[in-house]
Amino acid sequence: AQTVTQSQPEMSVQEAETVTLSCTYDTSESDYYLFWYKQPPSRQMILVIRQEAYKQQNATENRFSVNFQKAAKSFSLKISDSQLGDAAMYFCAYAMRQGAQKLVFGQGTRLTINP
């Protein structure tokens, strides 16, 4: 079975600084997707960024970028120029490429932004 591990239950960063959230996963599949979802205190979860395992290039979305290390099964999220609106619970998630997109979530990292 696939598992996703986020080893940092909580993190904090000063506004405008850079922070990196860690995620590791375990799978025997070679083709899959990885995601970072953000759940602000208002609860609505939104997709931040996604990575397809067959793509070597790391995904980037504005201030958000990932460091995807397939051999190490690591998928970290870097947030640059942190803003107060980035404060949220961040979930790393995995889904197999074949078949139904069943998301396997990590336990989450709560990110606090200090003004």
Q: Which residues lie near another protein (CB under 8 A)?
A: 33, 42-47, 50, 52, 91, 95, 97-103, 105-108
Which lies closer to another protein via its Cβ, residue 32 or residue 113? 32
Report, in Å, the least distance between residue 52 CB and another protein: 6
The DSSP 8-state label assigned to residue 85 in this structure reads G
Least Å distance, CB 61 to another protein, is 12
36-75 exposure pattern, b = at least 16 Cβ within 10 A, e = fewer: bbbeeeeeeeeebbebebeeeeebeeeebbbebeeeebeb
Closer to another protein by Cβ: residue 12 or 18: 12
Which is closer to another protein, CB of 28 or CB of 43?
43
Determine the Cα–Cα distance for residues 70 and 82; give it in Å rounded to an integer.
26
Q: How far is the CB of 114 from another protein (least distance, A)?
A: 21
